[in-house]
A and B are shown apart, each in its own frame.
Chain A
């Protein structure tokens, strides 16, 4: 199957700092990438959808100035959590799909804001 690499897998940061998470499709061109947030024992909550070269579409209730998404190329999307607070601590997962493909997921990033 297709491979999606997400980095870092874990990050601890101080309140007020920004954290960048990368999502790369290693063996296919990702025309669409998705960013999810997952709370313990909950299903995936879609945050935003991005297509290469265009602005991300955010789900209702997700602050676009807080969660900056850049999909600059067909193999890379980034999620930057700006001015992080403890309530932003969560498990963030990206997924990517190419033409005529289902979505494949990255390994996830555990963000802890202290």
Chain B
């Protein structure tokens, strides 16, 4: 059974304090791994797609990396506006139905 586990469940950082969020997955073939950001009361916003181990993507203060078993979302010098829930999802091979993790709730204090 495909599984996605995100850790930690919640993370509190001071502004400027860099950290990483983890997404561990078990999937039968990986069609793609996706990171989303979700603000309260809104739909998830697409951030990155990663397809193969070793791949990295960057956007402003965020950098996503992928290995064969996990993905990391690195946040460099975060700002309060980076506060949100970050969701990870995988598309297994042979299916376009994504499996989501439960998310990491990030709070960045000024």
Residues of A within 8 A of B (CB): 1-2, 4, 6, 32, 34, 41-44, 46, 49, 91, 93-95, 97, 102-108, 110
Contacts and interface: CB of A to CB of B under 8 A. Distances in A.
Interface residues on B, range: 20 to 34
B32 A102 contact: yes
Given A43-B87, A43-B102, A102-B32, A107 B43 contact: yes
B45 A103 contact: no
B44 interface: yes
Contact of A110 (B34, B41, B45): B41
Nearest to B35: A102
Interface of B: 32, 34, 36, 41-46, 49, 87, 89, 91, 96-98, 100-103, 105
B34 A108 contact: no
Given A44-B87, A102-B32, A6 B43 contact: yes
A100 B72 CA distance: 23
A4 B43 CA distance: 10
A113 B46 CA distance: 30
B5 to A, nearest CB: 11
Contact of A107 (B42, B102, B103): B42
Given A43-B87, A44-B87, A97-B96, A105 B102 contact: no
B102 to A, nearest CB: 4
Nearest to A2: B46
Contacts of B101: 43
